[in-house]
Structure 1
């Protein structure tokens, strides 16, 4: 059997392509190597280790059978790659933050701060060309202004005292602060008004219930249909839409979704003098059986690490050597303030306020449950505060030198609970550099082929990236001081890789990119990429998921028009929100 389209990966981008093409009547097969969490209230818990343990947690990179080991990735550096396999991918973890990218990372930008961006590795089209696709995704998820609580009041009060203006548009044009635009439904009914579980059931409660466990997947409010869960991870938004396409689209055809189906090879053939993608082979991770299926178009959306791995294991062309290269992140850092009053750090959407500094990056408030709070304060490249240094020990307006907080100092910091703390996450714009890459390891292969090796030489960042991180750390510290913090820690985090991109980047030049401006491979026709790896760069610092999904929508439209004789739909049709009652009824 030959499909119209095969999509490999059901994380942030794959379900977007699958949903858009299925809505227009195409036969789409969506393959995911990890689990399908069909009933989270019965499968998940709010216990932090149960969710977040990278070896055994239900949000890990590994098979659905948690008795089996995680999938091996070689990471020969001090760091931690925070990702999840399964339907929803790492959007199961994400906080729903959905800002647009900075204008300076796109072709044709002429602003006064142009020199602050990696313009050699810009997107090969203008920002304005992507805006209609942003708007389509924002209406579909939907993206809304985040619900505000105590920690947002504290954060935004400090931001106001920095002397920067409030941002009132979705486009970021200058240094500013604002509530997040996030993909979390606003609380309604009893949600956000009570902590009594008996009154937090749908439909009495709708949207965010302020549980504070965004990092561990969303299953709130209780008894809600899957497409009404508060956080709009793709398993709660685009996947339900893809599976119920005939119910809400006049030409819709339901996507075939196969979880536990790990793709091991992309097949090609020579046609009319060109190399063309023809299908894939995948392995059922439960039975071990292998299957092959063909399609007119293949879309890779396995993520920034797995997509280049699949490409290289398939023996696909790599004439310029850039498959897997240019692996960017946001060179994160953490700053935490201690307060003598309640900050509400553990309550509400985990990240609902931000400051943007185009040319440098961004700051976000971050609420964490206790174990993840302790983890974040004990992650450093500077050694242990007051004990030893690793040659860094950065000094600045924070209290003391940077470093891990452990032992009595950590106990004292957490002694009054996490709701006396306020965390600020630093997201630094990261330049594209060839030595940062995902490649194949020399370790023994697993059942899916050679395992990936993530090479991230974090001490060889560009001078611009290093300077931007220090600038943002000082702004974060100043914000906390002005908000009333009595003590400020800066940690100088070791690489915590949770915003990773660009390993299969589209680009201006065929010399240093894998994809053209249409997200199609430069060397294999009918083979597209629709995950974070397709991004041309690190967006200047903003969270990547919204841009990946806007780009995936644009890619789906290109596929529909170019290969199936369809017409453009963005700007000509009205997007259907993923909360539409017809989807709820069909689930």
Structure 2
């Protein structure tokens, strides 16, 4: 019997595993997908090879790429962009690590307090999470991003918006700033040359400005795994979890089992309560069961509620799977007569924040993903037809996907005459946006999830925020010198997904209490994005999920194992620590 079983090795699960193992607990970490232990042999920088949703090595599917991807039902025009395997979706994330807006939390009393989804705020004040933010920021580490040409162009435009430069981590007003990201800054030859012979560790340390963040990070060449530049969890928390006994006095190494798809959470009745007791998972050689004192679910916003429902766990208020929020993303692209450096360097190192509305950030993409961005729309084809939306505004022409000739014109000089801005909208919690069990035939793991996101049925506030931000993006690009600006009116690109097992004040519309423990199942916690109470006001979710997972690990340790809290009293050991490197090499 284990002390703790963690289900899922994506953005949140390895945080819980690492923190509890460092304090001497016996932790089993189960991951449905593969563990890519040798990225330089197993990965490439080719876009289709990595991101093809059917066959790519980052698809949501088993490690054997000869087998089909895992199914989800998406009844609307949308795309759920998630990775399988150890590291989860952090493998292709841009490592942007802003804190949430304080207005998304209980007790916020700023002048813009009515601009937020106050009915679904976090059930504790923002200041409660600050020590946990600081812990994760030190552990990864999170630093001010290294910047290049596209960031300079972005800032030229941001300065024309009449908003100030922000210098603090906590965002309280409209502003622009470099990203706070979890990418090791370049040192030595990194960022100074494109000669691969000179981009080997230790001559090169940190980000080499290769421009392939979305294809996973394996830079610099010959670096130990825990010193790869981008701090996806497979490069940071997982190495720490697997070597906890080497750097933490009294620590224990986490047992990681990949290709282990959990199909059931077991419970028992004890003292008049339902209590989690263990899990069953399916591996290549059949079903396996393990029991534990505590179970933590961290499979993601679609798979965690799927596992709950397929396990027959209680759902008395009907909110399991409900309240699915994303950031109702949209894309705006400027075409310039000058080099923007769009494909070079870290993929996103600059942002504008508009608390109460959401955020803007620049994104650099390689050519195929750039083309995909420009043909993904809910408005039809520019100049040909529209899908009843007919969106016009300060952008050139109607919003919508670029047809062949316009797309060819935009890309004829490559991607380095473009600057992309991603719109991240604060999205209200709505019961109708949800994950349910599909009526399609089950796969070998049980009933598949059906993800319902009604893109044209957002709240009036969410839609207004998206429009506000899209127009700000156009204004920024015009101010930076763009000669054409395109708006695409994206269909739901479900990339930042949260809240399907939300924590909350009221047992009427939440699944988790303020400690992230399930309301109706003791000793069962959730530690992924679906535990978030809301969409954070618009900022990227991973840092907040990891801060919350750290808090959850501390709660588990103090509540069920008689330990003392540590975040306020200890200094974290960063994942690039030489002791971790040596242990991995051993």
Structure 2 distance, partners of 1:414, 1:454, is 33
Post-superposition offset of 1:458: 1.2
Other-structure match for 1:224: 223
Q: Secondary structure at the match of 1:425?
A: strand
Post-superposition offset of 1:406: 2.3
After the TM superposition, list the runs of 4 or more consecutive aligned residues in structure 1 that deviate by more than 6 angstroms.
none
2:489 is the alignment partner of 1:496:
no
Structure 1 distance, partners of 2:217, 2:350, is 19
Instruction: Give me the CA root mean square deviation.
Output: 0.5
2:380 is the alignment partner of 1:405:
no
Other-structure match for 1:273: 272
Post-superposition offset of 1:253: 0.3
Q: Secondary structure at the match of 1:384?
A: coil
- Structure 1 unmatched runs, 5+: none
Q: Matches of residues 219-298 of structure 1 in structure 2 within 5 Å? A: 219-284=218-283, 286-287=284-285, 289-298=286-295
Structure 2 distance, partners of 1:296, 1:390, is 53
Note the alpha carbon deviations across 1:443-470, whole angstroms, 9 max, x for none: 0000000000001111110000000000
- Give the structure-1-normalised TM-score: 0.99
Note the alpha carbon deviations across 1:34-63, whole angstroms, 9 max, x for none: 000000000000110000000000001100
Other-structure match for 2:21: 22
Q: Matches of residues 361-376 of structure 1 in structure 2 within 5 Å? A: 361-376=358-373
Other-structure match for 2:159: 160
Note the alpha carbon deviations across 1:318-358, whole angstroms, 9 max, x for none: 00000000000000000000000100000000000000000
Other-structure match for 1:72: 71
Other-structure match for 1:557: 554
Q: Matches of residues 116-515 of structure 1 in structure 2 within 5 Å? A: 116-284=115-283, 286-287=284-285, 289-515=286-512
Structure 2 distance, partners of 1:252, 1:111, is 43
Note the alpha carbon deviations across 1:167-194, whole angstroms, 9 max, x for none: 0000001000000000000011000000
Post-superposition offset of 1:408: 1.1
2:9 is the alignment partner of 1:3:
no
Structure 2 distance, partners of 1:352, 1:370, is 19
Structure 1 distance, partners of 2:378, 2:264, is 38
Q: Secondary structure at the match of 2:551?
A: helix
Structure 2 distance, partners of 1:21, 1:359, is 36
- Structure 2 unmatched runs, 5+: none
Q: Secondary structure at the match of 1:309?
A: helix
- Give the structure-2-normalised TM-score: 0.99
Structure 1 distance, partners of 2:288, 2:202, is 42
Structure 2 distance, partners of 1:327, 1:320, is 16
Post-superposition offset of 1:160: 1.1
Size of the aligned set, in residue pairs, is 584
Note the alpha carbon deviations across 1:485-524, whole angstroms, 9 max, x for none: 0100000001111000000000010000000000000000
Structure 2 distance, partners of 1:170, 1:489, is 31
Post-superposition offset of 1:237: 0.2
Structure 2 distance, partners of 1:501, 1:365, is 22
Post-superposition offset of 1:393: 2.1
Other-structure match for 2:565: 568
Other-structure match for 1:540: 537
